[in-house]
Each structure stands twice: as structure tokens, then as C-alpha cells.
Amino acid sequence: MFGAKAVAKIRDVQIQDSITLTNTKEFLRQCFMKPYIIGNILGKKAAAQQTNDIIGFIEQNIPNNFGIYYREPSNLAISFKSCRQATPLIKAAIHKELNEGLLTKFAAAIGVQSDQSHMLSQRLKVMTGDTLKYLQREQQDIHEWMKQAMLLNANRESYDDWREKFSLSRIYPNLVSMHAIRGLFQQSFSYLVAGEMAAHMMPILQSVFFALVVSMIFIVFPMGLLPGGYNILKTWILLIIWVSSWPVFFTIIHCLGMISLSSKSGAFGSDYGLNMLSQASFAEMILYSYATF
């Protein structure tokens, strides 16, 4: 469940540093959106839309005659750089962004705490590894998913900035505030999961409670009135607590959830990962499928 929640929360991840965000938006607009999404150079539009690694795609398909005005993080000096020159700079900036506190903030958002960054990274990998394994065979690292999510959100924000230049409204106004999108997501999706889980679990719980009541009335209480009945009643209560807190049951539930997740996400194909086409709804569908198996 934590792994599925982490996958769904990845779509909230945004670049924190303003200079890095500005450079990345300009880079994606000039070196990715214009040549491939809009221009369809060499017929690469479909491949660009479906890529699970935007930086890797640009590195393999450097567009000629395209460049950006790059702002230096140290002294804010502006200089023109071609896409070939800007790609390693943006890649390094994204890597730095991941390593400087973003992983900690992301972990805190899904309820994971640790004082040591390497331990936190290890815990996130363990939690999300099995979930990501079913989504994309070659993209199982939480860092890669977070990097891709940051680039996709920067690309969408860049597109909105472009629209505002022509006096058009923003399509994704929630991207302006990371906290706003996180709050909206939590508010809308928590009610959805709670309602669906109640609809699936209430009929089962009714049968379980009815069986417990029948057992209490016809077995436990009559035996509790016999000599030594207090020990029988005490054993019954301890048995219920022990079974309810037995870790094996949670393991079985987790296994059933992953089997259900595997079958439902398999319809999308083995190469289905986080890209421009899947970002809007795929992560939410995964959490929905897992939480309501």
C-alpha cells in the first residue's frame, strides 16, 4: 500500500530551485516540445510522447539549430547554449535537485521518516520496488521516477507559461503551487479510496461480525459461566488480538494486492511507464486498483 501511495504521490514532485526550474522549462520548450512534440522532426513525435526518460531521449536525439538562454545558478549570468551544450547542465541540475532534500520532503509526504539520507533512500526503494516492478520492467528506481515527474511537471508549466504570453488561461494552474496540488490530491483521493474500500469491505465485515457474535453468544459466554470460565474468556480475547495483529495476514493481503495490481496494469503492456501520455491518470489508477483489490 505504501508503495502504491508513493507511486501516486510522484506526480506531485516539482523542481524547488527557481533558477533550475526556469532553465529546465526553457530547455524542455526549446529542445523537446518545439522540435519533437510540435515539429515532429524525423517523425519522432510518438516516441517523444511515450518516452519514460525525457533527458535520455534528448541525449539520443539532439536537435540541431535549437538552443536556450541559460541562466548560471552561481552569478545569474545569461548566455546562449545549444541543446547539445545545455543537456548535460540540465541533467546535472536535476540530479542535484534530487539529492538536496527533495527525497526527504517526498518521503515525509508519504509518511516515511529517517535522519539519514541513505537509509531513507533505501527504505523508499524497498517500499516502491515491488510496485514499480509491475509498472515498467526497466524503470524500477524511485529516483528515476521522481526525475521523470519533475521534468514532466516542468514541461507542463512551461506550456502554461507559453499560453500566458498569448493571454490564454493556464491549463495546469495547480502546478504553480506544490502545496496546492498536494492538498487537492489528498482531499479528493482520500475520500475516493475510503468510499471504495468501505463498499468492498462492509459486506465481508458484516459476515465476520455476525460470526463473532454467534460464537460469543453460543460458545464463549456459556463456557465463561463454567468453572475456570474467566480463563476461557481471557484466552478468547487474546486470540482475537493476536490474530488481528498477526504480520502474516498483512503479508497475505499485500500479496493479493500485488497480484491484482499485476493483472490490472498488465493490460497497458510491459513498456507502460511514466510519460507525457500516462502522467495525468495512470498513477491514480494504480493506487486505486491496489487499494481496492
Summarised one tens digit per residue, pLDDT across range 95-154 is 887 765 556 556 555 555 555 555 666 666 666 555 555 544 444 556 676 777 778 778
Which residues does 211 contact at the CB level (< 8 Å), separation at least 6? none
What is the sign, positive or negative, of the torsion defined by CA atoms of 155, 104, 70, 36? negative
Model-level pTM greater than 0.85? no
pLDDT higher than 90, residue 83? yes
Query: Nearest CA to 257 among 282, 293, 286?
Result: 293
Q: Could you tell me the sign of the dihedral formed by the alpha carbons of 10, 185, 101, 72, in that order?
A: positive
CB atoms within 10 A of CB 94: 21
DSSP secondary structure of 166-206: TTPPPS-GGGG-HHHHHHHHHHHHHHHHHHHHHHHHHHHHH
Residue 226 dihedral angles phi and psi, to the nearest 5°: -80, 165
| Domain range annotation of the chain | 2-176+246-291
Q: Per residue, what are the HEC states of 96-124?
A: HHHHHHHHHHHHHHCCCCCCCHHHHHHHH
Q: What type of residue sits at position 104?
A: T
At 241, which amino acid appears? I
Which amino acid makes up residue 99?
Answer: N
pLDDT in tens, 179-221: 444 454 455 555 555 565 566 667 767 777 788 888 888 888 8
